[in-house]
Chains A and B, each alone.
Chain A
Amino acid sequence: MHRSMAVAGVAHGSAMLGAAGCLALGVGVLVYLSDRGASHALLIPAVAALAGGNVFGALGQWLPSFVHPFAFGLFSAAALPPRLPPRYGACVVWCVVNIAFELGQHPSVRAPLAEALQSAAWTPLARPLAAYFLRGTFDVGDIAAAVLGGSAAAVLLRLMHGAGLETPHAT
């Protein structure tokens, strides 16, 4: 009885985390669809009816960098055991990954990085990655936004844990 309730609590909590991540990711996609015209992104189809909306104003410049570690931090947390340390770890990892990719766009490293990727054997993956570093825009604001995104995910996890929205596994 207690065990089944605990499992149900965990599933409910994971679903909430997943939903929150999806919601955040949806906002990020909307930035590309409206403010950036989607033609800037490789994986997002352009929707003419939404393009040029400028819905998010100046915030739209850094919102995707905030949303990505936030959403994927929550997704990863939902897939991890319902304990805070590994879940905080997931937030830190996504924060670091986003910062690393942003640093790869810095003018002092992007050209040699792209060159090294181009000469690597795994060319099918190297080419879009090289293009990302070479054509992307380095922005300190994006790094700050990634830190905030990861931190926000960690805070949300702490709040949910504290509010008892997620019951740990019965052992």
Chain B
Amino acid sequence: MRHDIGWLRGLALAGIAAAGLAGIVGSGGGDVDAPECSFFSNTCNPVVGPVPAIPAASIEPQRATVQAGASVAFTAQTVGIDQPAYQWRRSADGGNTYVDIPGATAASHTLGSAQLADDAAVFRLDVHGSGGASAFALSRLAVSSMPGIVFQDGEFQPAGWLVAAVADPVQNGPTHSEERVASGGNPNAYRRMVHALPAGISSLNVFHASQAASYDPAALGAIHAIDYAEDCSRLSTSTFTAVTSNLLLEQGGRRYFSTASRSCSSSAWSVAALSSLAAADFTLVDGPACTAGESCPDFSAGAAALRFGFGRRSVASASSAAGSIEHGIDNWQVTVWRR
């Protein structure tokens, strides 16, 4: 009998424990401050006024790569911290230990002339408020001894771009089209793309590789980091499906997308930027699988040549109706920083 009901007791106790803990947290914790919002209302308590935000801090930029000798400015952004006091700190061992930067107690910190010794430095901002609130944020710096090699295109002549796609399903699946439009970009010419998706589950990866953006590490040296920027606009849509934009990298018959992507969801032109990307910041999306011990992609000196471009990805769910998304790109730019 005891064994029979043992699991029932356990289940009941687990439920009671969950309800009890939810009751404590759900009580709001006292009679002075209100929680952000009640689960039963979309509005917060108007009597107690604005609810204070949870303390948080961030640094702009979160990652940066500069040439030795250039200056770099870090700017703090905080929320929920009254009368913030700042202290900038620096780590030379990847963030294990930090040392206060003398006099760096303002909301921004500028490194007047970055040196090679600053490469891989991690900058930490500690913020303390008058009410005991505190937060911290990190930013990583990469320093190159050479100027960055810049590939860019704002004209998008069709002959300058190679297009390939992976559609799922293959039969009666998504389709795509591309063209150069002479006006309406940011400014002037831009590349207009259309993804047409059938009803139901489907996905489409379109790879746009620049003919001119080729980098040979054997000739030019190992890659330290890559910066990427583009202007994106979702021109029109007849589905709820989103389109995302990634930096494309082709090497040795494989295609990689930057792991971080940007949703192209605004009808106005907006900048999408990724900074200080390393090889680990890319994901294989097309081509043979990488073998154990293989660098995918390989940024080292002597590695196979790389070609850059951009990718556009659309994914539709089971409830998606058939439709199309029209989107554009302008001011495409890749900066390769060498070691």
Which A residues contact B (CB, under 8 angstroms)?
Answer: 32, 36-46, 61, 64, 68, 72, 75-76, 79-81, 94, 97-98, 101, 105, 107-108, 110-112, 114-115, 118, 127-139, 142, 169
Contacts and interface: CB of A to CB of B under 8 A. Distances in A.
Interface string B14-54: 00110111111111111111111011110001011001101
A112 B134 contact: yes
Contact of B31 (A61, A115, A127, A129): A61
Contact of A45 (B13, B36, B40): B40
Contacts of A79: 9, 12-13, 16
Shortest Cβ-Cβ A-B pairs, 6 listed: A136-B29, A137-B30, A43-B26, A39-B45, A79-B12, A135-B33
15 contacts: A37-B45, A44-B40, A68-B23, A72-B16, A79-B9, A101-B24, A105-B30, A111-B55, A115-B55, A115-B136, A131-B35, A132-B24, A135-B33, A135-B52, A137-B29
B157 to A, nearest CB: 46
A64 B26 CA distance: 12
A130 to B, nearest CB: 6
Interface size class of B (residues with CB under 8 A): 35 or more
A61 B32 CA distance: 10
Contacts of B131: 107
A81 B9 CA distance: 8
Interface of B: 1-2, 9, 12-13, 16-17, 19-36, 38-41, 45, 47-48, 51-52, 54-56, 131-136
A163 B248 CA distance: 77
Nearest to B16: A75
A32 B48 CA distance: 15
Contacts of B35: 40-42, 128, 131-132, 135
A128 to B, nearest CB: 6
Given A37-B47, A46-B38, A136-B30, A129 B16 contact: no
A138 B30 CA distance: 8
Contacts of A142: 30
A80 B12 CA distance: 9
A39 B38 contact: yes
